[in-house]
Structure 1
Amino acid sequence: MRSSAIAVSGLRKAYGDKVVLDGIDFDVAAGSVFSLLGPNGAGKTTTVNVLTTLMKADAGTVRVAGYDVAAETRQVRGAIGVTGQFAAVDELLTGRENLQLMADLKRVRDGGRLVTGLLERFDLAGSADKQASTYSGGMRRKLDLAMTLVGSPQVIFLDEPTTGLDPRSRRTMWGIVRELVAEGATIFLTTQYLEEADQLADRIAVLNQGRLVAQGTPEELKGQIPGTHVRFRFADLAGLDAAARVLLEATRDDEELTLSVPGDGGTRSVRALLDRLDAHGLDAEEFSVQRPDLDDVFLALTDQPAGVQNTSKEAIAQ
């Protein structure tokens, strides 16, 4: 069983009368990717700010890399790296100079060798001696993450790291994140891209109006949402009509010539549906199993006030 890289209990933060974090609890296993999701204003960035010692909590306990963020601030800062929502590079410096500056600030031994290695790793060696102002958005993001890695942090906070990047640059960043985890780092990720969380996260927590309304693996969260169905498409309207008389529980779409039958999408249930059609001499042109995705989870969990949120399967199904 892996140890905790981040342990949060009863975390509260308010600005005047506005409660931003209302007693949240979660645990992040070392060497994993943990993703915090939530709509704008849910409290994601405030959570990151507290965990990275940039902001003091009003109540609760937070430990990062084994250190208390309130009592052992210096040790926490020495163990973490942070990439914020906007690339924090100095545009007047070259890529190499940005990295060297970080190495000097962190008093890294043999900083020149480290800088060269990071430039090569992030495919920036060819642009190393160009001003960062000439870099594309994807290159700046890679440089920003490379700067975060100076000092080999145990825990890396990525606050919406791929916002504004094109799909190719985003997938490049995903590959880098996977490499970091394979090397033993722990990643705390906030993102607006639900596919990103689905691709990268070992566990996900959904934050809504300052409260955690669900936690689990991506598959566990998707399993909470009803809506799995088998979709059949037929060659013509006559075939659709005949199949609809057999599969009475199905929802039909005359324009698409499809029937959607609710179910678990498992092998047995799909085979049973095909057998029912076959018994009446009916064939579908194609069929597929449609399952809820994280978009469905996100909408189901954040479309009502957090104070009345119930995230059990039974409650969501209602």
Structure 2
Amino acid sequence: MTPIIQTTNLKKTYGDVTAVNSITLSVEKGALFGLLGPNGSGKTTMIKMLTGQIRQTSGSALVLGREVAAEPIWVRQQVGILPEQETPPSFLTALEYLDLVGSIRNLPDITSRADWWFDFLDFADKKNVLCKDLSRGTRQKLMLAQAFIHQPELAFIDEPLINFDPVMQRVVKDFFVEYVKTGNTLFISTHILSIAEEICSGFAILHKGNLLKTGSPQELSEEGISLDDYFLRLVGRNKDA
């Protein structure tokens, strides 16, 4: 089976700084894949290259069978994207923003789709509030909704739980698990290792732009090693390593 994501020697440099260093990686369809690493390890740069937001310096990236650098707009039309820090337009209400997303994506029944998300993430009382007046957690809910409102077969999610309370974190994690059960694929970037250990089927660890390890939480569990301990050993912060 052809991987839904495939990179070969993918590299991104900014002047003399190497943000991502020759990464070769594949993700199969139906995976809930975690890209793990400390802040500044290259995770967000990877997602931006895989979604055509920035162009790689060298190497290649295939997403849904297409070369991202050659067809960035097509890729962004197909996938869902939840950026780490991007916020919705301040001059629109939450409902107007989802209406705009639906219009851009030519979605039928955008009102019913939006209402489903308002109810599911429990912020229907905020749908007519300007985005600039929403709390960080509510803006995160809105950005999550826009990433999935077209029911993409592949979504890239950067730090998905960062602004959510424990109850909403559980709701979102359960949603992710159910979403991939229907054959969809999620590519999640996070520095919170417990997310990957709890819900991911596979992971890759980045550190200073380098790929240190790929594997699965199940493999580590069978070896009697926690993902947290394994990660700390790899990045050189475990005093016993």
1:299 aligns with 2:232: yes
Q: Quick check: 1:206–1:213 contact (8 Å CA) kept in 2? A: yes
Map of 1:33 onto structure 2: 32
Q: CA deviation at 1:123?
A: 2.7
Q: Residue type matched to 2:32 in 1?
A: V
Q: Residue type matched to 2:230 in 1?
A: V
Contiguous gaps of at least 5 residues in structure 2 = none
- Normalised TM-score (structure 1): 0.69
Moved over 6 A (4+): none
Q: Quick check: 2:140–2:163 contact (8 Å CA) kept in 1? A: no
Q: What is the number of residues matched between the two proteins? A: 239
Higher relative contact order (CA 8 A, sep 6+): 2
Map 1:77-96 → 2, pairs under 5 A = 77-86=76-85, 88-96=87-95
Q: CA deviation at 1:105?
A: 1.7
Structure 2 CA distance, aligned partners of 1:135 and 1:184?
33
Q: CA deviation at 1:223?
A: 5.6
Map of 2:48 onto structure 1: 49
Map of 2:162 onto structure 1: 163
Map of 2:181 onto structure 1: 182
- SS in structure 1 at match of 2:174: helix
Q: Quick check: 2:92–2:131 contact (8 Å CA) kept in 1? A: yes
Map of 2:16 onto structure 1: 17
Q: Quick check: 1:31–1:184 contact (8 Å CA) kept in 2? A: yes
Q: CA deviation at 1:81?
A: 1.3
Q: CA deviation at 1:33?
A: 0.9
Change (3 A) 1:164 1:117: closer
1:120 aligns with 2:53: no
Q: Residue type matched to 1:180 in 2?
A: Y
What is the CA RMSD across the aligned residues, in angstroms? 2.2
Structure 1 CA distance, aligned partners of 2:54 and 2:221?
33
Structure 2 CA distance, aligned partners of 1:15 and 1:96?
38
- SS in structure 2 at match of 1:90: coil
1:206 aligns with 2:205: yes
Structure 1 CA distance, aligned partners of 2:16 and 2:222?
36
Map 1:1-318 → 2, pairs under 5 A = 3-86=2-85, 88-221=87-220, 291-303=224-236
Change (3 A) 1:117 1:169: closer
- SS in structure 2 at match of 1:4: coil
Deviations along 1:209-248, one digit per CA (max 9) or x if unpaired, are: 2221111111324566xxxxxxxxxxxxxxxxxxxxxxxx
Structure 2 CA distance, aligned partners of 1:222 and 1:130?
45
- Normalised TM-score (structure 2): 0.89
Q: Residue type matched to 2:115 in 1?
A: T
